[in-house]
Amino acid sequence: MRVVALLLLLFISACSDKIDYETRLIKLPVGMVVTCADDSGNQLNQEDCVSKSGIKTAWILDAGSRGLSILDITTKLHYDSDSFVPGFNTVPVGGAPIAIRADLQNVYSLLTVDDVSKGPSLAVLPLSNLGKSWDFIRQPLTCDVKDLALGKVADAPVVLVLGTCGAHSKIWALPVADLGDVDLEGVDTWDIPGIALKMETSKDGLSAYVTSIGTDSDAIFGDILSKVDLAGTTVDSVAIGDAGRLTGKAYDFEGERTVSRLRGRPAISPDGSIVYLPLGEPGAIAVFDGDLERLDVNATGEDGVGNKYLEELGFKDILLSSPAVAVVFVTIEESLRAIATMENGTFVRIVVEPTEEFLVTHVLEPAEEQGTSAASSISTRYNGEWFSSAYLNRSDLPSFGLAEIKVLSDEKKSYYGIEFVSEPKEMLNETWVVTNEGVIPGTRRVGTLEFDNPDAGVVQLVDEDADFCALGVLDSDSSSIGIGDIVVLTPNLPVDCGLVKGEFLEYRIAKVEKTRLTLEPAYLSVPLPEPGCFEGPVLFEVRVALGWSVVGSKSGFLHPRVSEGDACVDAANVNPLFNSRAYEPYPKELGGRVSSCPIREADPQFDIDVWNAALFENPIFKFRIVPGCRAGRDFLPETVPTARDTQLKFQVVSGFVSKGQSLTGLSSGDLAVFGTTIYGVDTGNGLLFEIDADKVEVVSTSY
Amino acid sequence: MLNRTFLGVQGLVLVCVLGIATLVSSSGCDNITRAPRPDPAKFTYPSTVVADSSGDWVYVVSTNFDGSNSGGTIVPIEVSTKKVVSAGAVEVGSFAGEMALLTDADGVSTKAYIAIRDDDELIHLDLVRTDEGIAFACSESENKGLAICDDSRRLEVTSLMKDSVPEDLQEDTPDAGDPYAIAIGAPLPGQDDDSAQINPLYLGSLLDGALLIFTLDSDGTPVFRKGATLAPGIHSIIERQVTPRNRVLIVSNRIQAVIHIVNVTFNSDGTVDVVVDEPVRWDQVSSTGDYFRGMTLSLDGTALYCAFNSPSSLAILYFGQDGRPVPRALVPLYGKVGYVATYAPEPGRELVYVTEFTSDALYAVDPVSMLLVDRIPIGGGPYGLAIAGDMAWVANFEEGTVSVVDLDPTSENWHQEIERLK
């Protein structure tokens, strides 16, 4: 009996299913639409769906399974397209999908590669077939397809397909009634400049808004927003432009390349008067009117609204804490708002139309509870190593003074020697790095030495791709201390030309122009190089002379300089606090004698004017760099010369808190709005989420 | 009678039991039989694929993950014929990490360097052109059958960090166990134009988070120069040249959600300075415990593409003013992504290919439009990836095969697996 039992156990274990079925049903959602029907199965539009409490179905385009995952939003049950295969099976779309749309008749899936034709195609699933068959109508396409939308041409519904052919792009308008047999040569088309990315249509279906990236062969270079009049042939395009001083750029040693800021689809307000464009680099929403006029949402008026700092930085958009993924408009209590999802897994609400409560438009709606702006404790980098001030007890190293949070008044505090001077809403969350004789950002480049200036003995460093004025480089005339910035040359091989020898050569800038720097000796012992000393391109960097560079991770190196022709001048109407150079105070005695170590405020060994003048201030904060000190001759305290590249680093956190919440995942670019309810998919966790835009909370998530 | 019968049955059972016990114990005690030499014609848990600089060869590293053989292998495959050239293979230790190739001044791959996790070793080998095509050589004497390396080619790395610091600091200095990441840098400037080419070599330890910096002397032997401690989990290393003597290393970490940035200066007197900068962090969306894996630069060198698993995605970064990578975007994917490689289907355009381990796929991502343009089913458990001859060569770890995928957009087999080598 025991043997029989053992054998039976063996048999059972051998037959048990060893496959681990996936718990995650939505694998790689790349798009989503929500359709709605009444009890009889008649499709309803969004407004009727809300008023009639229709039954909503989510169609999630899954690139992982190459199919449509169909989910009843009320019951949260998935439709299984093949009951004979274990697990929930998506409806195969027959190719590699990238985008999805739906109207009252069909669900449209855009495929980059159709499994049969091997080219791009549109897979159309009639909603009338739901529950009966899964036969798709296939419409072959051409070029590299990028996005699709639904519109109207001559009052007839069309599917708009956006694609790129080589360096140019196009929209094709495919009549819905003829899908499957549409001849692409015979349809209405519109040329779009550059490489196309995303597309959205206005609510009336008569206009399409397209984002693209212009190349050298286009009239507009960089990010482009175009408006297409579907009733005619007009395509109007505008450059989205950069983000002022906050522009994201990619650098190599041949120059800089602008990084595209474009992210998700444009969103058009219900009346077509406002277009919101989600951007990254930095995260933002750009605002246009319906005719593509850019609105500077930060411009300050006489009433004091606006964001002065962002305006001064040339930043026109609604600044977000993370790149925007998607944005939709939603009406809450008859007032228009927008919900934007971001890459950091959160969403925020934006005030679009003024209300009694919020008079300012196109701003992040503030949360009920606001925070306090603060700076983190200081990290110090010395000799290549970082130390946190929490653990650092080194009076020989420079600092901002005592490492403590000091209460200055009822409303103001000083954080580790840093005192804020701006409002929380005008502060950016960013990291500031203060570097002794630091390299000016963007000046580590390749140039050539020129010796053929008519003025004998003049040596110039030339970089035709540079704009030294815009980078903030100073010469002896423009410097407040009368000493030009330092150029460090790094030839490929160590140099040995008489007194000019070594791996690195340092000179001062006698004159700065847009693309050339006139050099002069920094040290008597190192004269200027002569022709033939070293040839060819040379790597160089420009450092702040006898001071500290102050650089924000978003604000950058603030300064007022611009180029006017070849010359460098101060820009007009620049905030005089646009300043990125800090200087240490120096004691009266040449030997650096101070009264005590650590150095205290108002140490009498410092001239009071020198001490006061060393207070650094920019539009956000102020601080004073206090030199390090040690016991010197006769055991009396004296200052310690600061080593080059010593750094002080801190983070600034704005006290402004926007109204929003965490989604806990990375949302895809599709959001569906039904009244004040918004649906979307979380690509990170494979979830459908539901947001209550009125209460600004996540209502539910489901697999 | 009955008792004798009973005893007879009992005795028989006893004899059987004793016999079985003897058999079991004798087989358990028999540990002097060595595991067989690996078969160079087979892939045993392949994990890494590296393309020769000529594009004519790819080299597949088998890890021998189950210990069924005496070691792993490196096997050449001829790209044009997709033929496995067993004659050129070599046995290396088990659990190999990454492999890097050294190219000479003429752009020819002449040497290979591989991290061996099991033995905590760095092995260097020569690439020799033969009648069969190409072969790995790492022995003074001629090997019969599958080549195997002399001890002189195997550098034990565990205690290199400790040996290079003063005695009073050795206790606090970590080991460099479980070497995994490896990269070879651009040649260093010599003292004059006639100086022999010297390249740096970088080795990262997965377990201890040590970064070891070597220079390769004239015969390719690695000479240890300096080390630095990052954090456990070092996965891949990319070097970016700032000046001929200043390099920035970008180091991915699979256990922590950071990309380490390390500044290295090779001084003309032969000394090396290392400064570990603040790592690059991403706004974390989830915490899976698995983070950054393989990396590659964009074709124009201004962007960095990295396989990221929290959430599963292709992380796109670009290099800012100070040379640091700045997060740009996450392109959502699914599963466990491993390695990445770039390919230009046409001038001015590039696609990034990403291996995905759990659903046996190769993703194709357009980094400009940030779209997943295709998902290509391939063999079981794909991980390492290289591109050569307009084809992607993928090591399928679980299945023990190599998938070959056609990347030529003009081919009728575009984005299809055209061969699965076993």
Q: What is the pLDDT of chain A when averaged over all its residues?
A: 87
Residue B121: its pLDDT value, please? 94
Contact check, Cβ <8 Å, A213/B368:
yes
φ, ψ dihedrals at A169, nearest 5°: -130, 170
Q: What is the pLDDT of chain B when averaged over all its residues?
A: 87
- Chain A residues whose CB is inside 8 A of the B291 CB are none
How far apart are the C-alpha atoms of A584 and A521, rounded to whole Å?
A: 24
The answer to whether the beta carbons of residues A342 and A348 sit under 8 Å apart is yes
How far apart are the C-alpha atoms of B369 and A212, rounded to whole Å?
A: 9
Question: For the segment B397-411, what is each residue's pLDDT rounded down to a tens digit?
Answer: 999 999 999 999 999
How far apart are the C-alpha atoms of A108 and A115, rounded to whole Å?
A: 16
Q: Which residue has the higher pLDDT, B122 or A82?
A: B122
Whether the per-residue pLDDT at B174 is higher than 90: the answer is: no
Contact check, Cβ <8 Å, B332/A28:
yes
pLDDT band at B345 (very low <50, low <70, confident <90, very high): confident
How far apart are the C-alpha atoms of A416 and A626, rounded to whole Å?
A: 12
DSSP summary character for residue B6: H
Neighbouring C-beta atoms of residue B212, cutoff 10 Å: 24
Residue bearing tokens 């960089």: A222
Nearest Cα residue in chain B from A503: B268
CB-side exposure of B385: number of CA atoms within 13 Å?
30
Asked if B414 reaches chain A (Cβ–Cβ under 8 Å), the answer is yes
How far apart are the C-alpha atoms of A237 and A239, rounded to whole Å?
A: 7
Element (H, E) at B160: helix B160-163
φ, ψ dihedrals at A491, nearest 5°: -65, 160
How far apart are the C-alpha atoms of A578 and A550, rounded to whole Å?
A: 11
Nearest Cα residue in chain A from B330: A343
How far apart are the C-alpha atoms of A97 and A68, rounded to whole Å?
A: 9
Strand ranges in A361-429 using DSSP code E only, listed in sequence order = 363-364, 374-375, 379-382, 385-388, 405-407, 413-415, 418-420
> Greatest CA separation found in chain B?
104
Average pLDDT over residues A670-686: 92
φ, ψ dihedrals at A653, nearest 5°: -115, 120
Asked if B247 reaches chain A (Cβ–Cβ under 8 Å), the answer is no
Token pair, residue B265, equals 């200066």
Asked if B6 reaches chain A (Cβ–Cβ under 8 Å), the answer is no
DSSP summary character for residue A589: S
Question: For the segment A503-522, what is each residue's pLDDT rounded down to a tens digit?
Answer: 788 999 999 999 999 999 98
Residue A14: its pLDDT value, please? 42
Residue A74: its pLDDT value, please? 87
Question: For the segment A413-459, what is each residue's pLDDT rounded down to a tens digit?
Answer: 888 889 988 887 778 888 899 999 999 988 988 888 888 766 666 88
Buried b (16+ CB within 10 A) or exposed e, A1-28: eeeeeeeeeeeeeeeeeeeeeeeebbbb
Element (H, E) at A455: none
Average pLDDT over residues A314-326: 91
DSSP A289-326: ETT-PBP-TT---TT--S-HHHHHTT--SEE-SS-EEE
pLDDT band at A130 (very low <50, low <70, confident <90, very high): confident
Whether the per-residue pLDDT at A255 is higher than 70: the answer is: no
Residue B30: its pLDDT value, please? 41
Question: For the segment B53-74, what is each residue's pLDDT rounded down to a tens digit?
Answer: 999 999 999 999 999 999 999 9
pLDDT band at A23 (very low <50, low <70, confident <90, very high): low
Long-range residue pairs from B371-374, CB within 8 A, at least 24 positions apart, any chain: B371/A98, B371/A112, B371/A146, B371/B331, B372/A28, B372/A30, B372/A63, B372/A96, B372/A98, B372/B331, B372/B332, B372/B333, B373/A96, B373/A98, B373/A112, B373/A113, B374/A96, B374/A112, B374/A113, B374/B415
Residue bearing tokens 């399974």: A65
Contact check, Cβ <8 Å, A343/B326:
no
Element (H, E) at A566: none
Contact check, Cβ <8 Å, A30/B243:
no
Long-range residue pairs from A359-366, CB within 8 A, at least 24 positions apart, any chain: A359/A305, A360/A305, A360/A306, A361/A297, A362/A285, A362/A287, A362/A295, A362/A297, A362/A318, A363/A297, A363/A318, A364/A318, A364/A320, A364/A656, A364/A658, A364/A659, A365/A337, A365/A658, A365/A659, A366/A656, A366/A657, A366/A658, A366/A659
Whether the per-residue pLDDT at B11 is higher than 70: the answer is: no
Residue bearing tokens 């201004």: B302
pLDDT band at B27 (very low <50, low <70, confident <90, very high): very low
Judged by DSSP in three states, A603 sits in: coil
Q: A18-22, A372-376, B85-89, B176-180: which range is least confident on average?
A: A18-22
Token pair, residue A265, equals 């689809």
- Name the β-bridge partners of B394: B385, B403
User: Which residue from A146, A442, A668 is facing B321, i.e. has the nearest CB?
Assistant: A442
Token pair, residue A296, equals 């500077």
Asked if B318 reaches chain A (Cβ–Cβ under 8 Å), the answer is yes
Whether the per-residue pLDDT at A140 is higher than 80: the answer is: yes
- Mutation choice for A interface testing from B193, B267, B371 by most A CBs within 10 A: B371
Residue B378: its pLDDT value, please? 97
- Chain A residues whose CB is inside 8 A of the B326 CB are 248
The set of residues, in sequence order, having a beta carbon less than 8 Å from that of A176 and lying 6+ positions away, is A103, A105, A106, A156, A157, A158, A159
The answer to whether the beta carbons of residues A21 and A87 sit under 8 Å apart is yes
For residue A54, give Cα distances in angstroms to A44, A58, A125, A599, A674: 7, 13, 21, 73, 10
User: Which residue from B268, B300, B302 is facing A494, i.e. has the nearest CB?
Assistant: B268
Contact check, Cβ <8 Å, B245/A323:
no
Asked if B220 reaches chain A (Cβ–Cβ under 8 Å), the answer is no
| Distance from the A408 Cα atom to the nearest Cα atom in chain B, whole angstroms | 32
Neighbouring C-beta atoms of residue B24, cutoff 10 Å: 10
Question: For the segment A367-419, what is each residue's pLDDT rounded down to a tens digit?
Answer: 988 888 888 888 888 887 777 765 567 889 999 988 888 888 777 888 888 99
Token pair, residue A257, equals 């390349």
Token pair, residue A49, equals 């769906």
- Mutation choice for A interface testing from B264, B275, B330, B369 by most A CBs within 10 A: B369
Buried b (16+ CB within 10 A) or exposed e, B348-361: ebbbbbbbbbebbb
Predicted TM-score (pTM) of this structure = 0.87
How far apart are the C-alpha atoms of A58 and B218, rounded to whole Å?
A: 64
Asked if B288 reaches chain A (Cβ–Cβ under 8 Å), the answer is no
Question: For the segment B125-134, what is each residue's pLDDT rounded down to a tens digit?
Answer: 999 988 778 9
- Where does A314-406 have alpha helices with state H? none
pLDDT band at B356 (very low <50, low <70, confident <90, very high): very high
Token pair, residue B160, equals 């290199």
Long-range residue pairs from A220-229, CB within 8 A, at least 24 positions apart, any chain: A220/A193, A220/A194, A222/A258, A222/A260, A223/A260, A223/A261, A223/A262, A224/A193, A224/A194, A225/A266, A225/A275, A225/A277, A225/A286, A225/A288, A225/A292, A226/A192, A226/A193, A227/A290, A227/A291, A227/A292, A228/A171, A228/A190, A228/A192
Contact check, Cβ <8 Å, B283/A343:
yes
Contact check, Cβ <8 Å, A250/B348:
no
Residue B398: its pLDDT value, please? 96
Residue A428: its pLDDT value, please? 85
How far apart are the C-alpha atoms of A617 and A567, rounded to whole Å?
A: 27
Residue B250: its pLDDT value, please? 96
Average pLDDT over residues B286-312: 91
- Name the β-bridge partners of B307: B314
For residue B273, give Cα distances in angstroms to A380, B159, B184: 19, 20, 17
How far apart are the C-alpha atoms of A78 and A57, rounded to whole Å?
A: 10
pLDDT band at A621 (very low <50, low <70, confident <90, very high): very high
Whether the per-residue pLDDT at A364 is higher than 70: the answer is: yes
Judged by DSSP in three states, A3 sits in: helix
Whether the per-residue pLDDT at A47 is higher than 90: the answer is: no
Neighbouring C-beta atoms of residue B115, cutoff 10 Å: 29
Whether the per-residue pLDDT at A485 is higher than 60: the answer is: yes
3-state SS string for A479-527 = CCCCCCCEEEEECCCCEEECCEEECCEEEEEEEECCCEEEEEECECCEC
Whether the per-residue pLDDT at B2 is higher than 50: the answer is: no
- Name the β-bridge partners of B179: B205
How far apart are the C-alpha atoms of B78 and B59, rounded to whole Å?
A: 9
- Chain A residues whose CB is inside 8 A of the B348 CB are 167, 215
Q: Sort A422 into a burial class: Cβ within 10 Å, 0-12 / 13-18 / 19+.
A: middle
> Greatest CA separation found in chain A?
111
How far apart are the C-alpha atoms of B124 and B111, rounded to whole Å?
A: 7
Whether the per-residue pLDDT at B279 is higher than 70: the answer is: yes
Average pLDDT over residues A139-157: 95
